[in-house]
Amino acid sequence: MNKAKQYSKEKYILFFVGTVFTFLFLIIFQIFVSAPIKSIVILWTPNFYLIVILYALLFSVINYWAGFPLHFYETFFIEHKYGLSNQDLLAWTKDEIKKNIISGIIFLLFVLLFYYVLKSTGQYWWLILAFFWMLFTLFFSRIMPTVILPLFYKYSDVDDDQLKADISKLAKESGIKILDIFKINFSLKTKKANAAVIGIGKSRRVILADTLLANFSKQQILSVCAHEFGHHKRAHMPKLIVFSCVSTALSFYLLNVCLDRIVVLCNASSIYDIKIFPSFLLVLYVFSLIMMPIQNWFSRKLEVEADLFALLKTKDIGAFKGVMQKLGEMNLADVDPPKIFKYLFYSHPPISERIAFAEKHEKSS
């Protein structure tokens, strides 16, 4: 088995192990840990919202450390094992601390908001909470490029003036108001290459990994940019945000349907009893697993649109195929995964499909 296949296989296995772990963790926490934690927390304060915060804090700390071996294996060990990481343990730990502070704050605020909305609004709490989630998603998308990303990467100018001029020309030909294009120092952490359109409104920009700029030819870089312009032109970011908000609303609705049953099953005093919080998470987790293939199907559809846009704008099938091959090699992608894995995990069509799509396009044009 080649290195890329082996790497992908390990990733698939890790996903299944992670899923089983999450199920077991939530169930065990619900049955054996939740009530004792609650009884400790209520000794500290009688205030409902303080109880919620303290419980959520303890829950997330225990959850993080219980899953730490798996998380470490997945994000540090395996990347080194396959020679994909440029990050030492200290740098990884620093990133890990930053990520946990950010996600911890978001988690605590959201749990607080969840109980506030659940308590103070009526039967449509799930819709109101989904509305808040949408506001948060918009806010986060807005600050992601300017506040969050700089915590992990440095922006710099694309230093090749000729390349910059060609990218601007391509943007104009694509009918796009010039979008800021930045290089980010991906190589600080990884040998993988990537590019993306991020942000909304004034923060929207194209980012190109320095690993991509260093290893790809000018025509290939233009092909990548054209793909990213396709995402922008076809409004893929707003579409993804709407998709995510609808699926969040559905997941809260599902939780709403299950609330009373959970109370009975867990012998809780009411739906506001913090000890049944792990069961709420379990319902949301199950829904997210059901949504995963649908979300990925939707994402793959948008990726095909962006690929088609790139092929039409650059008319450079060779460069497009070159990009795919190089991306596959640098990122150790499974170029031709089993169909079932594609449906479950792939937010982009597999490399072999993207190349076949380009060849089909070439024949028909």
**Site residues (vs Zn ion, CB under 5 A):** 303, 306
DSSP-assigned letter for residue 348 = S
> What minimum distance in Å lies between the beta carbon of 178 and Zn ion?
20
By C-beta, is 226 or 306 nearer to Zn ion?
306
CA 99 remoteness from chain centre: 13
By C-beta, is 54 or 306 nearer to Zn ion?
306
> What minimum distance in Å lies between the beta carbon of 195 and Zn ion?
8
By C-beta, is 181 or 306 nearer to Zn ion?
306
> What minimum distance in Å lies between the beta carbon of 214 and Zn ion?
20
By C-beta, is 303 or 316 nearer to Zn ion?
303
Are 229 and 171 within 8 A, CB to CB? yes
By C-beta, is 210 or 303 nearer to Zn ion?
303
DSSP-assigned letter for residue 274 = G
By C-beta, is 258 or 306 nearer to Zn ion?
306
- Which H, E and C letters describe 174-240, residue by residue? CCCCCCEEEEECHHHCECCCCEEEECCHHHCEEEEEHHHHHHCCHHHHHHHHHHHHHHHHCCHHHHH
In the chain, the amino acid numbered 180 is: D
**How many beta carbons lie within 10 A of that of residue 257, not counting itself?**
10
> What minimum distance in Å lies between the beta carbon of 237 and Zn ion?
11
By C-beta, is 243 or 253 nearer to Zn ion?
243
> What minimum distance in Å lies between the beta carbon of 48 and Zn ion?
45
Are 278 and 29 within 8 A, CB to CB? yes
Burial class (CB in 10 A: 0-12, 13-18, 19+), 318: middle
Tokens of 181: 């294009």
> What minimum distance in Å lies between the beta carbon of 327 and Zn ion?
11
Tokens of 8: 């992908």
Listing DSSP states for 251-264 in one string gives: HHHHHHHHHHHHHH
Nearest to 291 by CA among 259, 244, 337, 338: 244
CA distance 351 to 342: 11
By C-beta, is 86 or 194 nearer to Zn ion?
194
- Left (φ > 0), alpha (ψ -120 to 50) or beta: where does 208 sit? beta
> What minimum distance in Å lies between the beta carbon of 228 and Zn ion?
7
> What minimum distance in Å lies between the beta carbon of 348 and Zn ion?
7
By C-beta, is 85 or 353 nearer to Zn ion?
353
> What minimum distance in Å lies between the beta carbon of 216 and Zn ion?
15
Give the three-class secondary structure for 271: coil
Are 232 and 179 within 8 A, CB to CB? yes
By C-beta, is 38 or 233 nearer to Zn ion?
233
Q: Which residues contact 85 (CB under 8 A, 6 or more apart)?
A: 76, 79, 189, 190, 191
In the chain, the amino acid numbered 282 is: L
| Sheet with 195-198: strands ordered across | 155-156, 180-184, 205-209, 195-198
> What minimum distance in Å lies between the beta carbon of 227 and Zn ion?
6
CA distance 294 to 237: 17
